[in-house]
Amino acid sequence: MEIRKVENYSEMSQTASTIIINTIKHKKSPVLGLATGSTPEGLYQELIHQYNNHVFSFKDVTTFNLDEYVGLGKGNPQSYHYYMKEKLFKHLDINMENVNIPNGTVQHLEKECENYEKSIKEAGYIDVQVLGLGLNGHIGFNEPGTPFSSSTHVVELDDTTRKANARFFTSMDEVPQKAITMGLTTIMHSKKILLLVSGENKAEPLARLINGNISEDFPASMLKKHPNVTIIADKSAFVAL
Ligand code: GLP
């Protein structure tokens, strides 16, 4: 894993944006894997800024999001569909037919997972996958204990994860119990992975990732087995190292 220590959140976002824009400029039909949460918001703002400055176009880009809550429709402001539309897609020239986010409102969730996995494969897998780091080491919504061999699946969310994400909802009761997430194998198929880490509250999981063993108890540790991972972390995330 390459580790890039940057000054602050803004530098983390710019560094990630430069790598993504280079991929978009140099690939004919680039495929991006996108994440939600607070961490990539600055990256998305930076991409919009560069797009507005005519640095590049999103028209040939295909995207796959990591995850979505079960039971939240596209119009629900807490859904990841809504997040992605508001924070990125509506500001760009992306063809919405090339945007893929798991649908957590279908009756047959298992079928949705299978189809999602198939679409990623058919797209030739992901060129650059953006990841955030959960406090318990989750990536996407792959909670501790998820087999490294997992493909896209339905998960029961950890209470720690629900609590961490409760800030986006009016009460803890509203945080869904389940989600659909790309699996760990799905993520490992990506050609390049960018793990973004910012802030002191991520210092413990970052230290465990860098110094700890590879174990299913800490899903992010799987990234150590991937040949092309760049961790972009700001100074404050390094306080436990
Ligand atoms: C959430 C998301 C992940 C995200 C992580 C960290 O639960 N499902 O994709 O990377 O937790 O979130 P944040 O960036 O808000 O700390």
- In this predicted model, what pLDDT tens digit does every residue of 42-60 receive, in sequence order? 999 999 999 999 989 999 9
**Atom number, ligand 1, closest to the C-alpha of residue 140:** 9
Residue numbers annotated as active site: 67, 136, 138, 143
Mean pLDDT of 173-194: 98
Mutating to test ligand 1, I would choose from 9, 138, 156 the residue with most ligand atoms within 8 A of its C-beta, which is 138
Q: Is the CB of 140 under 6 A from ligand 1?
A: yes
User: What local confidence, expressed as pLDDT, does residue 55 receive?
Assistant: 86
- List the one residue out of 161, 163, 143 whose CA is nearest residue 153: 143
Contact predicate 237/198, CB 8 Å: yes
The CA 134 to ligand 1 mean position distance, Å, reads 5
What pTM value is reported for the model?
0.97
ipTM: 0.96
Domain 2-238 bears CATH identifier 3.30.70.360: no
pLDDT at 222 over 90: yes
Q: Whose CA is nearest to atom 5 of ligand 1?
A: 134
Contact predicate 89/96, CB 8 Å: yes
The CA 37 to ligand 1 mean position distance, Å, reads 4
Q: Which neighbouring-strand residues pair with 196?
A: 232
The CA 67 to ligand 1 mean position distance, Å, reads 10
The domain locations on the chain are: 2-238
Contact predicate 31/25, CB 8 Å: no
Q: Which neighbouring-strand residues pair with 154?
A: 180
What rounded mean pLDDT belongs to the chain?
A: 97
pLDDT at 94 over 90: yes
* Percent of the chain with pLDDT strictly greater than 70: 100
Q: How far apart are CA 20 and CA 163, in angstroms?
A: 31
Q: Whose CA is nearest to atom 12 of ligand 1?
A: 37
Q: How far apart are CA 99 and CA 18, in angstroms?
A: 21
The CA 150 to ligand 1 mean position distance, Å, reads 19
Mean pLDDT of 213-229: 98
